[in-house]
Amino acid sequence: MKKIMVLMVFILSVSVLPAFGAAQLTGKYPLTAMIDNNGKPADVKQFQAMAGGNIVLEFLGGGKCKMSAGKDEAGSCAYTLDGNKITLTVAGDKEAGVVDGNKIIISGEGKSKMIYEKK
């Protein structure tokens, strides 16, 4: 009886834990900070103005997401998770990053980073 209970708890935890990880990546994550190639903070507002508005990653679940810049522009993207590591695929390009609590930090060239934070 004890073995059956332990087995049931294990099966339940294995089936439920991935759902909690996936649930963390739903909703909108606006771009809140940037680091340039030299490791210094970059001007997010200026970058967003050049892009046409606020830049937001929206996670829809099931490995799907969309990225928007301003009110009218939205492009589809995809993501995969491996622990806290995330890979975004946008227009065929893959970008690697990490999930850190309510932040997604995407690494670019050199020391550059884009930081999206769920509000």
The DSSP element (H or E) to which 17 belongs, if any, is: helix 2-23
What value, to the nearest 5°, has the Cα angle with vertex 86 and ends 84 and 91?
175
Residue 24 confidence (pLDDT): 60
Q: Which two three-digit tokens encode residue 4?
A: 């059956």
Under 8 Å between Cβ of 112 and 38:
no
| Mean pLDDT, each 10-residue run in order, the chain (119 residues) | 30 34 75 94 93 93 92 86 94 94 92 93
pTM: 0.76
How does the average pLDDT of the chain come out, rounded?
81
Q: What domains are defined for the chain?
A: 2-117 (2.40.128.280)
DSSP 31-83: EEEEE-TTS-B--HHHHHHHHTS-EEEEEEETTEEEEEETTTEEEEEEEEEET
Residue 71 confidence (pLDDT): 78
